A = this chain, B = another copy of it.
Amino acid sequence: MSTYLTILGFNSAIPTVNSSPTAQFLEMEERHFLIDCGEGTQVQLRKAKARFSKINHIFISHLHGDHCFGLPGLIASFRLLGRETPLHVYGPKGIKKMLETIFRLSETHQGFEVVYHELSSLESELIYEDARIEVHTIPLDHRIYCNGYLFREKPKERHLNMSEISKYKEIEKCDYHNLKLGKDFELSDGYILKNSVLTLDPSASVSYAFCSDTRYLESIIPIIKDVDVLYHESTFLHDLKEMADYTGHSTAIEAAQIAKLANVGKLILGHFSNRYNDRSVFTTEARTVFAASFLPTQLEPVKIGS
């Protein structure tokens, strides 16, 4: 159950013939999350061979068109495909009003429930949790209310050390669950077998942080600390730092600085301004600060974690 990130689009503002606006598809512990949904995302999902019916949670960073104008069409398609499962939409306050106005006027009648989770807090919140995964908001600093999202696997169960366990006939299969949870085992003679002998360390818990759109913002560092992969926007190069500040965006150096301070495993840059034809300038600049900086690859799944 590896974690895969498929970047469906990473263009800023105006879509072009070859690059789509922001949308990402994250498969983590058999959950299928959609992050942002610029215009055309439903076609990108088809190209990525994502199964629409498996997407039950959509996380929208902010209400600028290049991050959410694909949502009405995607939800309308869910309906046409006969969906019955509830769909959870997380996004800024106002997203419900926007979508419900569109659906009312276009007479798009859902056959399924859309559950809106409207966000307005300026502090990081736990907004999704199940047995294996947590999702937290990452409050960002853009021209409009905006959150990034942190996806984090919960600590996993310990692995059974069968070569040790097999030495003790008293340990039965029904005891394995407690061993995986880290408990010691008491033999009938009262001798305590330490859990650290009977089990091995769990697989690492994978984490992914999505941060777009935002100015340089150090307050996100404690939230995204040590994540395996950070996607951080870098709309401009640093010579346009003033433009970045004015428009509420970051430069490649700033994204790299955040990655370095947060000690992330890998940085993926994105949301590039259309003024740059050669995108390698972004990694060239970012790597002066943080070596593990990479360009996004549209529609090519990237494995997160080992």
Contact = CB atoms under 8 A, between A and B. Distances in A.
Interface string A1-37: 0000000000001111100000000000000000000
- Number of chain copies forming the complex: 2
Given A16-B43, A80-B13, A97-B101, A73 B65 contact: yes
Chain A's interface size range is: 35 or more
Interface string A74-106: 001100110000000000001101100110011
A81 B65 CA distance: 14
Contacts of A107: 63-64, 143-144
B106 A68 contact: yes
A290 B77 CA distance: 34
A69 interface: yes
Contacts of A68: 106
A146 to B, nearest CB: 11
A94 B108 CA distance: 14
Nearest to A39: B73
Contact of A17 (B46, B64, B80, B95): B46
Contacts of A69: 69, 72-73, 76, 102, 106
A296 interface: no
A99 to B, nearest CB: 10
A70 interface: yes
A63 B98 contact: no
B105 A98 contact: yes
A139 interface: no
Most interface-central of A40, A47, A105 (chain B CB within 10 A) = A105
A102 B70 CA distance: 12
A302 B59 CA distance: 42
A108 B65 CA distance: 8
Contacts of A147: none
B77 A14 contact: yes
A137 B49 CA distance: 40
Interface string A132-164: 000000000001100000000000000000000
A64 B104 CA distance: 10
Given A46-B17, A101-B101, A70 B39 contact: yes
24 contacts: A13-B77, A13-B80, A14-B42, A14-B77, A15-B43, A15-B73, A16-B43, A16-B46, A39-B40, A39-B42, A39-B70, A39-B73, A65-B72, A65-B76, A65-B102, A65-B106, A69-B76, A69-B106, A95-B105, A101-B101, A101-B102, A102-B102, A107-B143, A107-B144
Interchain residue pairs A-B with the least CB separation, the first 10: A39-B73, A65-B76, A94-B105, A101-B101, A63-B106, A69-B73, A98-B105, A14-B77, A40-B40, A107-B144
